[in-house]
A and B are shown apart, each in its own frame.
Chain A
Amino acid sequence: MSRSARGAIEAVARDSYGRLIAYLASRAGDLAGAQDALSDAFAAALERWPMDGVPEKPEAWLLRVARNRMIDAARRHRVRENYEQFLLQLAEEAEDIAATHDRFPDERLKLLFVCAHPAIDPAARTPLMLQTVLAIDAARIASAFLVSPAAMSQRLVRAKNKIRQAAIPFRVPEPAEWEERVSFVLDAIYSAYTTGWESLTDAGSSHRALAGDAIAIGRTLVQLMPNEPEAAGLLALMLHCEARSAARYASAGEFVPLDRQDTALWSRPMIEEAEKHLRSAAAFKRMGRYQLEAAIQSVHAHRMVSGKIDWPEIVLLYEGLVQIAPGIGSLVGRAVALAQAGKPADGFARLEEIPAARVAAYQPYWAARGHLLELLHHPAEARAAFARAASLTDDPALREYLFQRAGGDE
Chain B
Amino acid sequence: MKYALLVYQPREIFDRRDEGMIAAGRAYGEALQAAGVLVGGAGLDSPQTATTVTLRSGKRQVHDGPYAETKEFLGGFGIIDVPDLDAALEWAARHPAAGFSSIEIRPLQGFYFPGAAGKTSQ
Residues of A within 8 A of B (CB): 29, 80, 119, 165-169, 171
Contacts and interface: CB of A to CB of B under 8 A. Distances in A.
Interface string B72-94: 00000000000111110100000
23 contacts: A29-B84, A80-B1, A119-B85, A119-B89, A165-B107, A166-B85, A166-B105, A166-B106, A166-B107, A167-B1, A167-B83, A167-B84, A167-B85, A167-B107, A168-B84, A168-B85, A168-B86, A169-B83, A169-B84, A169-B85, A169-B86, A169-B87, A171-B86
A80 B107 CA distance: 12
A338 B96 CA distance: 47
A269 B115 CA distance: 68
- Which of B1, B86, B87 counts the most chain A CB atoms within 10 A? B86
Contacts of A80: 1
B89 to A, nearest CB: 7
A119 B89 CA distance: 10
A167 B106 CA distance: 10
Closest 3 CB pairs of A and B: A169-B84, A167-B1, A167-B84
A80 B110 CA distance: 9
Interface residues of B, number: 10
A166 B105 CA distance: 9
Nearest to A118: B89
A165 B108 CA distance: 9
A82 to B, nearest CB: 9
Contacts of A29: 84
Contacts, number: 23
A171 B106 CA distance: 20
Contacts of B87: 169
Contacts of B1: 80, 167
Given A165-B107, A168-B86, 4 more contacts: A29-B84, A168-B85, A169-B84, A169-B87
Contacts of A167: 1, 83-85, 107
B106 to A, nearest CB: 8
Contacts of B85: 119, 166-169
A114 to B, nearest CB: 10
Contacts of A168: 84-86
Nearest to B1: A167
Nearest to A174: B86
A151 B109 CA distance: 26
Contacts of B105: 166
Contacts of B86: 168-169, 171
Contacts of A165: 107
Contacts of B107: 165-167
A28 to B, nearest CB: 13
Nearest to A119: B85
A119 B86 CA distance: 9
A119 B1 CA distance: 16
Nearest to B86: A169
Nearest to A177: B86
A166 B106 CA distance: 7
B85 to A, nearest CB: 5
A178 to B, nearest CB: 13
A167 B107 CA distance: 8
- Which of A29, A167, A171 counts the most chain B CB atoms within 10 A? A167
Interface in B23-80: none
A171 B89 CA distance: 15
A167 B87 CA distance: 10
Contacts of A169: 83-87
Interface in B102-120: 105-107
B109 to A, nearest CB: 8
A168 B83 CA distance: 10
